[in-house]
Amino acid sequence: MTPGARVQAAIEILDAIAAAAAPADQVAGGYFRGRRFIGAKDRAAIAALVYGVLRRRAQLDWWSARQRTGASRGLYNPDGRQRILAHLAIVDGWPVDEINRAFDGDRFRPRPLSPAERETIKALAGRSLDHPEQSPAVRHNFPAWLEPALWARFGGDFAAEMTALAAEAPLDLRANALMGAREEAARLLAMGGLEATPTPLSPWGLRLEGRAPLSTQDAFKSGLIEVQDEGSQLAALFVDVRPGMRVCDFCAGAGGKSLAIAARMENKGHVVACDTSRRRLKGATKRLRRAGAFNVQQRALTSESDPWVKRHRASFDRVLVDAPCTGTGTWRRNPDAKWTLKPEDLAELADKQRRILDSAARLVKPGGRLVYVTCSLLAEENERQVEAILDRDRDFSLVPASQVWASAIGGTCPSPDPYLRLSPARHGTDGFFVAVLTRKPENAKN
């Protein structure tokens, strides 16, 4: 493909993302599946441009609006084309003549630049993306309404953490203990031309820098590795399971943590992977089979209060609630998600999390544990939810993160709080929150 054709494809994908309710990776994947003629290198270049714009959207829009004057600045509503132009001029450093040649209106290439667009790229050429007049939300590319909550979460580490959240994440893998050791997985990947290094915190983890075609790797085809962020691996380890236990993964989704838990249990005992989406559970079936996880039963629920919960009251040693949340901790991987998030979404999710926690708590047997996980950075979804359930249900008490870490992983917990809080700048993971609650043993109740 010509540079102009790549640019046109990126514009089309960005506009499709803006119009769709689906995540960016699904939209881009559908676009490429419908155009099999686009080769691997072209797909990679197009995706890099699309995600570059999504990561820097606030700054690109700020610069583009700055070039407009009078009332037109306030009415500015940029689309994929305007954002691509700003990215090419500022981030990629394309000369003005090169941009003009790419936008020549020929087949598969963008229509020619208007006089106003030519003036804009001339004004933007050679600029630095940062500017002292940019607000923190613009400089760090996130919705302004979240600024107070993110300052409260990070304090003096705000700038470093927000910079890390805007960067591209590495590719983390989990070695599947049911199929072999981490060292064996690294060796097989090396034979396939991929250099993987052990993750610093998870004893299961391997890390690759940048994207890699895993589906053709023997380590993947054999079930020896699974794609899973190191933070998600640590969350699964915090369930602290043992072979022979009964475990419920209450919001299992595609089954990533269920797989990790089954491996930790050595396929001994019983794992029930629940979700309200039959589609997500069905998608996990192939993963479970490839991983050799045979002690996992899938259960579709009608809602968090499905009658199945009442029938299985107080019957599980461990109940994991990986709750639906804003996903603010995953912006490295899903930069598009930040631009669709609204304050009302947070309020709705917080209410849903409360209902899920209350229902899932019923499944925990006396002496068992309820493990609450989000990939959120917001107190409303994390600490406030735990504090509230501890207030509502006095049968539960908090288990300090350091105690769980020592039992499940060993060594010193990297999070000094009662909870496990992980973040990109400090720990190199996605943003995660984990709280472990234990139900009083039967003989300890009044």
Contact 32, 38 (CB under 8 A): yes
Phi-psi region of 321 (alpha: psi -120 to 50; beta: other; left: phi over 0): beta
Contact 378, 328 (CB under 8 A): yes
Tokens 């917001």 -> residue: 378
Compute the residue count for the chain: 446
Q: What is the DSSP string of 342-373?
A: -HHHHHHHHHHHHHHHHHHHTTEEEEEEEEEE
Query: Three-state DSSP class for 247?
Result: strand
Following CA atoms 108, 113, 80, 58 in sequence, which dihedral angle do they give, to the nearest 10 degrees? Answer: 150
Contact 153, 378 (CB under 8 A): yes
154: Cβ contacts below 8 Å, ≥ 6 apart? 161, 162, 377, 423
Contact 434, 419 (CB under 8 A): yes
**What tokens were used for 175?**
């070695």
Which residue is catalytic, options 248, 251, 274, 375?
375
Phi-psi region of 351 (alpha: psi -120 to 50; beta: other; left: phi over 0): alpha
| Rounded Cα gap, residues 340 and 348, in angstroms | 14
Has 325 been annotated as catalytic? Answer: no
| Rounded Cα gap, residues 307 and 329, in angstroms | 33
Contact 423, 374 (CB under 8 A): no
Catalytic residues: 375
